[in-house]
Amino acid sequence: MGGSMHPYLSKCGRNAARGFVLFALVAAIVRPMSAGADGAIAVGLPPDVVKQGFAYGYVTDYPDPIQADAQALKKCRETTIDAVRPLCEVIQDFKNQCVAVAMDPQAGTPGVGWAVAASSHAAEAQALAKCEQTAGPGRRAACAVDHSSCDGSAK
């Protein structure tokens, strides 16, 4: 038995293979394979937080990064502070991670921080540390987690 071996697909097999390739191409166009995100955080941070305040918005568990970005921006822009609203921008997308925002609850203080991390504990600790850095020596202890949430399988 000599000769070379040739792969063979029946007509049905060739059509199935073509159908799979077509499906894969359409799926890649409709939802590109990337390290997309289910969550996003947007922040509006003016040069003088003490005088102008700040705004933020975040979302988790959205079906794709485009929707997550749009909703995080929308939430950030819902602030009543007119000067801060146009400053809102998405600063980070995330998937299967947690987000936390910490701030000094007293009005007219500069303490604010946010973080995205693998767990809620880590995100909250990082957000608190950033808040403490911006709060100044007299207000560091006042920083507290304002909100936190996890996306997907993160806890």
What's the pLDDT at 88?
Answer: 98
> Which is it for the CA torsion 24, 26, 30, 34, positive or negative?
positive
- Give the pair of three-digit tokens for residue 134: 């911006």
pLDDT band at 43 (very low <50, low <70, confident <90, very high): very high
pLDDT band at 145 (very low <50, low <70, confident <90, very high): very high
143: closest CA among 151, 133, 152? 133
- Pick 24 or 53 by higher pLDDT: 53
Determine the Cα–Cα distance for residues 59 and 6; give it in Å rounded to an integer.
53
8 Å CB contact between 54 and 45:
yes
Helical (H) or strand (E) element with 40: strand 39-44
Taking residue 49's Cβ as centre, other Cβ atoms within 10 Å add up to: 18
Mean pLDDT of 94-108: 95
**Torsions phi, psi for 89 (to 5 deg):** -150, 150
What's the pLDDT at 72?
Answer: 98
pTM score, whole prediction: 0.74
**Is the model's pLDDT at 66 over the cut of 90?**
yes
Sorted by where each begins, the domain ranges of the chain are 39-150
What's the pLDDT at 151?
Answer: 93
Work out whether strand 89-94 and strand 55-59 pair parallel, antiparallel, or are unpaired.
unpaired
What's the pLDDT at 29?
Answer: 34
Q: How far lies 128's CA from each of 17, 28, 145, in Å?
A: 54, 40, 7
